């Protein structure tokens, strides 16, 4: 069977991507089922037992910025080796809640880690591997902040300032402009029906 495809959902906290993730997986699974493929849904940081342990650390424990970035890429290497690469080799499709764009946006744009350091880690961990498609849920930080305020107890990232999320959003949009062939931008200030209509268009292109 031919190699599967890798799709990622990205966006600042509160942009609403998680609201649509399971729905998108179900819609995609219907489309690929006749070909004998399945859709594997996963997340970053996480996706493996080791990755989930690292997730708990980076979301809740204070640490040096470079330590944080190194842990993100360590979790990603494990994720690639144990989940993503084997699934794609089987011909399955992989849908991930975040991938390396998030590291550039959060640790790079938000926290200010120099891009060249992240690019070095990306080449080491991923080689030239990138998602086939990245769906970026775009939302102004002030609106995202209101949404986060109505959610659960915030973690280290969700507790950050609007200025942090403005920088994070700017880096996401820079990444999208740099690689328009793999990004689909969704205006997540719209209602659920409008967003899902856009996502249906995205699925149709796949």
Considering only CA atoms, which of 135, 146, 131, 140 is closest in space to residue 196? 135
Distances (CA, A) of 79 to 66, 89, 111: 20, 14, 23
Compute the Cα dihedral for 40, 43, 49, 50 and give only its sign: positive
* Bridge partner list, 20: none
Detail the residues annotated as belonging to a binding site for ATP.
Answer: 11-18
Detail the residues annotated as belonging to a binding site.
Answer: 11-18
Q: How many residues does the chain have?
A: 206
Distance CA 147, CA 131 (A): 28
Are residues 9 and 17 in contact, defined by beta-carbon separation less than 8 angstroms? yes
Compute the Cα dihedral for 162, 103, 153, 8 and give only its sign: positive
3-state secondary structure of 134: strand
């Amino acid at each position: 069977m031919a190699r599967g495809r890798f799709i990622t959902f990205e966006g600042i906290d509160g942009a609403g991507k998680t609201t649509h993730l399971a729905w998108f997986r179900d819609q995609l699974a219907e489309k690929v089922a006749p070909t004998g493929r399945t859709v594997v849904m996963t997340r970053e940081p996480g996706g493996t037992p080791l990755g989930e342990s690292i997730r708990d650390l980076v979301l809740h424990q204070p640490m040096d910025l470079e330590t944080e970035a190194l842990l993100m890429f360590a979790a990603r290497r494990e994720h690639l080796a144990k989940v993503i690469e084997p699934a794609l080799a089987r011909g399955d499709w992989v849908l991930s809640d975040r991938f390396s764009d998030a590291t550039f946006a959060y640790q790079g744009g938000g926290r200010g880690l120099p891009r060249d350091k992240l690019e070095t880690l990306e080449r080491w961990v991923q080689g030239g591997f990138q998602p086939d498609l990245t769906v970026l849920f775009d939302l102004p930080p002030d609106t995202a902040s209101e949404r986060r305020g109505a959610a659960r107890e915030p973690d280290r990232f969700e507790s950050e300032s609007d200025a942090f999320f403005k920088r994070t959003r700017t880096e996401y949009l820079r990444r999208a402009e740099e690689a328009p062939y793999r990004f689909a931008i969704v205006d997540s200030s719209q209602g659920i029906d409008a967003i899902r209509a856009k996502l249906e268009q995205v699925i149709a292109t796949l």
